[in-house]
Amino acid sequence: MAGSGVAHLRGDQALLSVEDLVVEYRTSAGVVQAVSEVSFDVLPGETLGIVGESGCGKSTTGRAVLRLDTVTSGSIRFRGRAIEELGEREMRALRREMQMIFQDPVGSLNPRRPVRELVVEGLDIAGAPKREQEAAADRVLAAVGLADERFRDLLPRRLSGGQAQRVAIARALAVEPQLLICDEPVSALDVSVQAQILNLVEDLKRDLGLTVVFIAHDLSVVRTVSDRVLVMYLGKLCEFGEPEAVYASPAHPYTRALLDSVPQPDAVDGFSGPALEGDLPSPLSPPTGCRFRTRCPRADELCASEEPRVAEVRPGQFAACHHPLPVPEVPAASGDAADPVPAGSTA
């Protein structure tokens, strides 16, 4: 998959703008480019969903924005300021405006501190007076639906997964951020609890005017929350656009394959299209050209020799692919298709 390029960036009004981001990890077997020349931006009040399989670089991208991982090259601008140029002290101040929540809610909370202290730790570090901290704790705990007094003195291990994730969200809100980065916030939760947390994120976003980067592997979840979707594969950008367009008529063959791999409760054979062959290549030695070409049904010599650049395939829909897919003639496997999908994939 594809490639690099900045054709899809929307310019100055973006709250967060990432250009040609490269993040490398050194391992005993060599250097891995976890994120390779990825660009994207997020407008104020928007939710950007980043989706992909393990190793695609989606979490690393989120961490890089907060400079939790060292950025090898590229630029990350938040409200016009280049974060790679900031000193550590300035960066610490900026992190109050950009908060992150993680997949393992219990593991991301200090096990020895009660909820009331956890949620205002950021304010405490910033030196806010006790009374302000208490007021903030009340406010954010109420905002995430944990107003009940009994939660205040609990330690993280006494919380359920859903409650712990609410605490993590409250903790992020306490410092009144503008940008919330959610890294797989619901993948450790049961379906019934997942829906509660997704609705909560939506409510908070609306009420507080938050801008959200929502990183997840679950395509259905990403569709629900996102205004724009970014699909990644092996450190590269594949596709970017509005969820309705990307899901109904994906331009990148990888997006198509990913969508076809999601089990469907309503499809006859459980899937809406054929399976993708093969395994993910090693990130230590990614394929030349387009990184997806080794599994791509449309790949040819060009894909092996030349890396595709991001280009606008249809208005507002961008893909990094030499052979993008056309809009399907039959609106593919969409909507309420109760008895759908001609391709009775016999696998």
Partner 1 sequence: MTEPLLVVSHLHMHIGTPRGTVRAVDDVSLTIEAGQALGVVGESGSGKSMLARAVMGLLPPRAVRSGSIVFQGRDLMTLPVRQQRDLWGKQIGMVFQDPGRSLNPVVRVERQLTEGMRRHLGVSRSEARTRAVTLLDEVGVPDPERRLGNYPHQMSGGMRQRVMLAIALACEPDLLIADEPTTALDVTIQRQILDLLRRVQRSRGMAMMLISHDLSVVAGRTDRVAVMYAGRLAETGATRAVFAAPRHRYTHALLDATPTLHQERHARLRVIEGSLPDPTAPPPGCRFHQRCTAAVEGCATGAVPMESVGADHRIACLNPVGAPALVTAGGAHDGR
Residues lying near partner 1 in the complex (CB under 8 A): 53-54, 160, 162-163, 190-196, 198-199, 202, 217-221, 223-227, 243-244, 247, 257-271, 275-277, 279-280, 334-336, 338, 345, 347
3-state secondary structure of 103: coil
* Amino acid letter, 167: V
Cβ–Cβ under 8 Å, residues 310 and 4: yes
Which residue's CB is nearer to partner 1, number 107 or number 124?
A: 107
Give the whole-angstrom CA distance, residue 276 versus residue 292. Answer: 11
Give the HSE-up count for residue 129: Cα atoms under 13 Å, Cβ half-sphere: 2
Give the DSSP H/E element, type plus range, for residue 199. helix 191-208
As measured in angstroms, the least distance from the Cβ of 20 to partner 1 is 26
3-state secondary structure of 183: strand
Token representation of residue 187: 């993948």
Cα-based distances in Å from 194 to 52, 189, 227: 19, 6, 19
Which residue's CB is nearer to partner 1, number 193 or number 327?
A: 193
Query: What torsion do the CA atoms of 39, 42, 47, 53 make, to the nearest 10 degrees?
Result: 10
As measured in angstroms, the least distance from the Cβ of 195 to partner 1 is 4
As measured in angstroms, the least distance from the Cβ of 257 to partner 1 is 6
Give the number of residues written for the chain. 347
Which residue's CB is nearer to partner 1, number 41 or number 260?
A: 260
Give the whole-angstrom CA distance, residue 111 versus residue 88. Answer: 27
Which residue's CB is nearer to partner 1, number 123 or number 229?
A: 229
Give the DSSP H/E element, type plus range, for residue 48. strand 47-51
β-strands 311-314, 81-82: how paired? unpaired
Cα-based distances in Å from 113 to 116, 117, 145, 147, 158: 8, 6, 20, 18, 12
As measured in angstroms, the least distance from the Cβ of 283 to partner 1 is 12
Which residue's CB is nearer to partner 1, number 62 or number 250?
A: 250
Cβ–Cβ under 8 Å, residues 281 and 287: yes
Which residue's CB is nearer to partner 1, number 74 or number 286?
A: 286
**Any idea what DSSP says for residue 328?**
P
As measured in angstroms, the least distance from the Cβ of 46 to partner 1 is 11
Q: Find residue 17's DSSP bridge partners.
A: 41, 77
Which residue's CB is nearer to partner 1, number 91 or number 325?
A: 325
Which residue's CB is nearer to partner 1, number 76 or number 188?
A: 188
Cβ–Cβ under 8 Å, residues 229 and 241: yes
Q: What angle do CA 79, 85, 89 make, to 5 degrees?
A: 85
Which residue's CB is nearer to partner 1, number 120 or number 225?
A: 225
